[in-house]
Amino acid sequence: MARPDDLGGLKDLIEKGTIKPAEIIAVIAKTEGNGNVNDFTRGFTTLAIQDFLSDLLDCRRDQVGKKVSIVCSGGCEGVMSPHATIFTKSDAGQKDGKKRLAVGVKNTRDLLPEEFGTSIHSREVAEAVHDAILDAGIDNPSDVHFVQIKCPLLTSDRINDAEKRGEKVVTKDTLKSMAFSRGASALGIAMALGEVEGAKVTDSVICNDWSLYSNVASTSAGIELMNNEIIVMGNSADSSSDFVIGHSAMQDPIDADAVRSALKNVGIDADPCVSKKDSSRLVNVFAKAGAHPSGTARGRRTTMLTDSDISSTRHVRAVVNAVIACIVGDPMVYVSGGSEHQGPLGGGPIAAIARI
């Protein structure tokens, strides 16, 4: 992607017949904005994709979201390359009884501003994740390896709307609202997969009790929606896909061993790096990253939480992307910042998709 509206790669795939528009079920993209509240590259890219697909799917632009889940995550710091991963589903291929990549999608209802970042938010997500797992044909939660969610954030207008109706929002700080929304969404995933008991997810634990988390959750907040768009990725014996997915959990931003573990789980040896032969098998790597609340990494002080000019999510995206890129030999991997309840504190889930 040369620009937020650059869909040349997608157009080429369709023109060559590599993919059919009607088979597209999801798009996960990294855009080049700052990844914060005022990152309009997410909405711009979403709009461009919807506009492009509306003609091909013979529907209005505002109806594309009911056919295709579009998740755009802002922030391509360091050497991270803006890109998009396209997921399609068809009946082609033969099942061999082995578990292959399966993808399911589901959207929640539109949430009210006062529900953002609350236990209500988590429960709506949990129900939708459960439905997405069924949509993917995955019958065992342990076969779910990555769940990507695009969730809403609070804006001044949304805060004012709630207050006019006599309702209170979780925070009046729009930037902090991103964290609450990501955290509530992640705990919803954890509930759906049985990683966290539903009764433990109350308003008070969201972005507070870090012992509660999901090892496969990746959530990204944006201004461009009011609901939660959910993409579940796992392996299923009911799939005839030519791909497989595996995951691990990074304990901190420089946990290279976790990267190698995720790659090993899809049959790729990365000791110390991925070979040229295996690099052709690798489709993409998806990771979440976050700074530890202590402001340290392996006992060393960092400036990620004390830099007044650059938010910690921007620092950590650059670091984790560089670590992964060094191992796989390609900077075009997906790294999203802000890992509230997503993996161990200061770390985050990482998943790899590879051709069989």
Catalytic amino acids? 150, 220
Q: What b/e string do you get for 138-156 counting C-beta neighbours within 10 Å, with b at 16 or more?
A: beeeebbbbbbbbbbbbee
Question: Is residue 350 within 8 Å of 258, Cβ to Cβ?
Answer: yes
Among candidates 69, 74, 3, which has minimal Cα distance to 334? 74
Which structure tokens are listed for 20?
Answer: 């059919």
